[in-house]
Structure 1
Amino acid sequence: MAGQNLGKKILNLVGGEKNIASITHCATRLRMRLNNPKIAHANKEAIENLNGVISVVEKAGQFQVVIGPNVPQIYDELVDGTNLLKENPQDSNAHDDTNWFLKLMDIVGGIFTPLLPLLAGSGVFRGLVLLATQLHWLSTTSATYNILTCASTAVFYFLPILLAVTTAEKFKTDKFVAIAIMGALIMPQFTQMMGKTGNGVIVHFFHIPIILMTYTSTVIPAILAIWCLSWLEKWLRTWIPENLQLLFVPLISLFIMVPLTAGLFGPFGVYVGEWISKLINWLMNLNGWIAGAFIGGIWNLFVIFGLQWAVNPVMINNISSLGYDYIVPLTAAANFGMAGATLGTFFKTKNKKMKTYSISALLSIFFAGITEPAIYGIGVRYKKPLIGAVVGGAAGGAIIGGLKVKAFAFVFGGLTTLPAFVGKTFIPYCIGLLVCFAVACLVTILIGIKESSRKGC
């Protein structure tokens, strides 16, 4: 195995191709569902000791290998020459003893993960456009501004269609039918029926009342609609003869799902999104200092357990519908808390390899807003740096929340995403990040690390 690349080494240690029911990856991890998880569990330490592997996480019925930003390359190495596919359907016989909440987080993660690079890139792009206008480098009445605005915000306008694609892929249904369903709800002919009244106009479809809503930039309606489509399609393929499915499955799916989404899933999803946004705004207005300290302190723990997927859709929905969000800055506070703890680890460790790794993890946060290498390779490994990150994130998060800092795009908190926060609260945001970083670094240095508790990186 010495001459193999990292992907093939991992493949062998998890039990080979036949033991993998399905495999995919997110921004930093290989995610596998295994037919016999005991094989991989027995080799867990050997996998963690591979050069290039940060750690191994077993949760949500998945065996996850944390690698870092170069995970797509390792994924390609692993599946190369095998029958494993990027959209390999999950084996129904695969071992899965997870509870409903972890399964839900896995579903939400699978839906949003493919879109995160686009959302992050568009967010920084939008921030740069806003910065250019505030510096008077770009006129808001110019064609250049309008073109750049369209380029940087298209992802949010057409978010229901993009979510239709990823949701269809997650639930293994026809993604082109899914696109057509959500596309129908943002067509000009549909929105024109609302006239000047806007959301809440009632029309009739075969004498059935339907409440019309605006679906551009929405999140929940697309997910609910395509989940329902997946069940409808399975049922149709059971009852329609195979030689007629090509025509009648998409025909009947469109006939049923477009009105059903417009009349049921759509309004429900829009109202839920609005309620969540109002709840968050209410909490921030009630006491932003406490809310900021709580979210800034606990967010890194959310990442460890994958719970951030429960909140990411809320942030995306706020950006899409309101144009700003209060939670994104608090996640950035957690990022800079982890960055400070990482620098503190650099100063405390005597392991040269860990010093090098610490700098790499720190740069990953600063330039990509990705914390997993630091969280798993340093925080989880040594424990005490995670304490420093929590304290630092809470300290700076209180400032950011208390001063009601706004993000104007969905981004991962780092130095390269600062333009997404440019506005009246930009200076408090920068002060909050500095506090997060300094406090976390100082706490980590003061409490130290126990390198004897784990092997070097």
Structure 2
Amino acid sequence: MDYKIGAKEILEHIGGKENISGMTHCATRLRFNLRDTTKADTAAVEQVDGVVNVINKAGQYQILIGTNVPKLYAEMEDLVGADKAASTESTKADRSAQGIIGSIFSAISSIFAPLLPALAGSGILRGLLLLFVQLGWLSEASGTYQILSAASMTVFYFLPVLLAITSARRFGADMFISALIGAALLHPDFIALLGDIGNGATTTFLGIPTILMNYNSTVVPIILAIWVFSYLYKWLDRVIPETLKLVVLPLVSVVVMVPLTIIVIGPLGVYGGEVIASAVNWLIARSSILAGIVVGGGWSVLVSLGIHWAVNPIMINNVATYGLDYIVPFTFACNFATIGTALGVLLKAKDRDIRSFSITGMVTIALSAIIEPTVFGLLLKNKKLFMAQIIGGAVGGAYLGLTNVYANAFVFGSVTTFPAFVGENSSNFINAMIGLAISLIVAAVIAYFVTRIDEKLIKN
């Protein structure tokens, strides 16, 4: 794909840069907030070289590209302008058209997307370390283990700082002041105030009773804090004279936001995040089989709508708080069911194009956990194959839920991330492999029988 030409053609077909109120990208998609979606010629966009599919859901106009999307996004950024890139500050009319739910999904996507490589790489490294310890190749007392362990856990410890930066880009606040606010929550002097009590310890600020929390590895508090800060920052930017902005704006921002976050926003965010995570985990504990069926079978539906990002913070919070998560394995079930569906098509169909597409999809998912090309290029165009994938994911997810399989890191479901299932109990890894095999085999068998020998790849 010629990224310069592709960017120009896409921009032309979606109504030009004047029709864009904001844009960002995730691992595989360009995501636009369009002022008027009727100006977008979806059929023409789908014909652009390199475009796999177009989805207009969750308040965003999403263009599926694949893992090379950052290169196309860079060209698009040059054409559209940095003021709209990575920021989705819309007018009131734009936000109204997008809807509250769409705005939430859009925010979650743009906040977490830049951190996915760091989270995925750290998760794999953490899994490998646990595997090496289990195999006796590495001692937990060794300097090598301690250094690599620190490397694998740093992204979670400093998550408030990283999320402060991405949240600032999303909400239109200063990134460096935002990072400073996040870092203040992790300063040793603040941590020392917790003493031996930890969360719930108290102190005072200007006579105001303050409940203290440990904010390392937290997700919700800093996002809420930077969202609030974005309004303060924009107001200060308007009222403070240019000659005083260099000193006064950051001074007022820090003096106001750090105490406000510690006294009000932080505790609300911590408790709110814990309530949400606890509710999800409670449902899993009460009916893990049902949870496995729903998530394992339905994850591809969420992916097809581009709203699976809403669940990622819960998984990240679970890993950061408890050191493990039960939802991640269900997403693996979905991915391996997708591999199985492609395998069933490969074994039955004789058409060269659809066989080649199936092989490419299987390899892509196995190595990088990217299922969108297969979902949009194969499953959504054949309802029987989509149902095969959903059933495979649901059956495998049910087994994973029944055996309480967990992941010790937030990773994406591929062969390269299997170490996330390594734990103190070897049965967790074994049951994970069985569950994923079930997903793959069930989906492959169903796909084989619903695929015609003369099945052809339906192209846009």
Q: Cα deviations across residues 324-344 of structure 1 (Å, max 9, x unaligned)?
A: 000001111111111111222
Could you say if the C-alpha distance between residues 139 and 364 of structure 1 is closer, same or farther in structure 2, counting changes exceeding 3 Å? same
**Aligned residue runs from structure 1 range 24-423, under 5 A:** 24-41=24-41, 44-80=42-78, 83=81, 86-87=85-86, 90=89, 92=91, 95=94, 97-423=97-423
SS of structure 2 residue aligned to 1:197: coil
Q: How far did 1:285 drift?
A: 2.3
CA distance in 1, matches of 2:68, 2:271: 39
Counterpart for residue 433 of structure 2: 430
Specify whether residues 375 and 130 from structure 1 end up closer, same or farther in structure 2 by C-alpha distance, changes over 3 A only: same
TM-score, normalised to structure 1, is 0.93
CA, structure 1 residues 282+79, in 2 after alignment: closer, same or farther (shift >3 Å)?
closer
Residue 370 of structure 2 aligns to a residue whose secondary structure is coil
Q: Distance in 1 between matches of 2:250 and 2:53?
A: 44
Give unpaired runs (5+ residues) of structure 2: none
In 1, Cα distance between the equivalents of 2:86 and 2:107? 14
CA distance in 2, matches of 1:53, 1:29: 9
1:264-297 C-alpha deviation (Å, 9 max, x unpaired): 1111111122223332332222221122111111
| Secondary structure, aligned partner of 1:217 | coil
Which one-letter code corresponds to 1:66 in the other structure?
L
Deviation at 1:454, TM superposition (A): 7.9
Q: Which amino acid aligns with 2:199?
A: N
Using the TM superposition, give the Cα deviation of residue 90 of structure 1 relative to its aligned residue in structure 2, in angstroms. Answer: 4.3
User: Hey, what's the Cα distance between the residues in 2 that align with 1:396 and 1:89?
Assistant: 38
Range moving further from structure 2, 220-229 or 264-273: 264-273
Q: What number of residue pairs does the alignment pair up?
A: 455
Kept after mapping to 1: 8 A contact 2:110/2:170? yes
* Contact 2:334/2:390 (8 A) holds in 1: yes
C-alpha spacing 1:99/1:15, structure 2 compared with 1 (3 Å) = closer
Name the SS for the 1:339 alignment partner.
helix
- Asked if 1:444 corresponds to 2:425, the answer is no
In the TM superposition, residue 430 of structure 1 has moved relative to its aligned partner by: 0.4
Contact map agreement 2:13 2:45 (CA 8 A) in 1: yes
Q: In the alignment, is the contact (CA less than 8 A) between 2:221 and 2:268 conserved in 1?
A: yes
After alignment, is 2-11 or 132-141 more displaced? 2-11
Q: Distance in 2 between matches of 1:81 and 1:257?
A: 35
Task: Name the SS for the 1:431 alignment partner.
Answer: helix
Partners of 1:299 and 1:337 lie apart in 2 by: 11
Three-state SS of the structure 1 residue aligned to 2:381 is: helix
**What SS does structure 2 have at the residue aligned with 1:32?**
strand
SS in 2 for 1:342: helix
Whether the aligned pair in 2 keeps the contact of 1:315 and 1:327 (CA below 8 Å) is yes
Look up the SS of the partner of 2:443 in the other structure. Answer: helix
C-alpha contact (below 8 Å) 1:354/1:456 kept by paired residues: no
Query: Contact 1:7–1:76 (CA<8 Å) still a contact in 2?
Result: no
Q: In the TM superposition, what is the alpha-carbon distance from 1:345 to its structure 2 partner?
A: 2.8
CA distance in 2, matches of 1:61, 1:290: 29
Q: Do 1:292 and 1:400's aligned partners in 2 also have CA atoms closer than 8 Å?
A: yes
Q: Secondary structure at the match of 2:408?
A: coil
1:36/1:250 CA distance change after superposition, 3 Å: same
Q: Return closer, same or farther for 1:10/1:297 CA change in 2, 3 Å cut-off.
A: same
| CA 1:177–1:79: 2 relative to 1, 3 Å | closer
- Cα distance between partner residues in 1 of 2:99 and 2:328: 28
Given that 2:164 and 2:178 are in contact with CA atoms closer than 8 Å, whether structure 1 keeps it comes out as yes
Contact 1:382 1:453 survives alignment (8 Å) = no
Cα displacement (A) at 1:99 = 2.0
Separation in 2 of the partners of 1:351 and 1:427? 36
**SS of the residue aligned with 1:417?**
helix
- Please tell me whether the aligned partners of residues 384 and 449 of structure 1 are also in contact (alpha carbons under 8 angstroms): no
Deviations 1:56-113 (A, max 9, x none): 1112332211111111222234445664664466453875512211111111111101
CA contact (8 A) 2:87 2:171 kept: no
Structure 1 residue 357 displacement after superposition: 1.9
Which region of structure 1 is more displaced relative to structure 2, 351-360 or 221-230? 351-360
Provide the C-alpha distance between the structure 2 equivalents of 1:236 and 1:74, rounded to a whole number of angstroms: 35
Conserved 8 A contact 1:343-1:362: yes
Give the CA RMSD over aligned residues: 2.3
Q: Quote the offset at 1:144 in angstroms.
A: 0.5
Is the 2:292–2:400 contact (alpha carbons within 8 Å) kept by the matching residues of 1? yes
Percent identity of equivalent pairs = 44
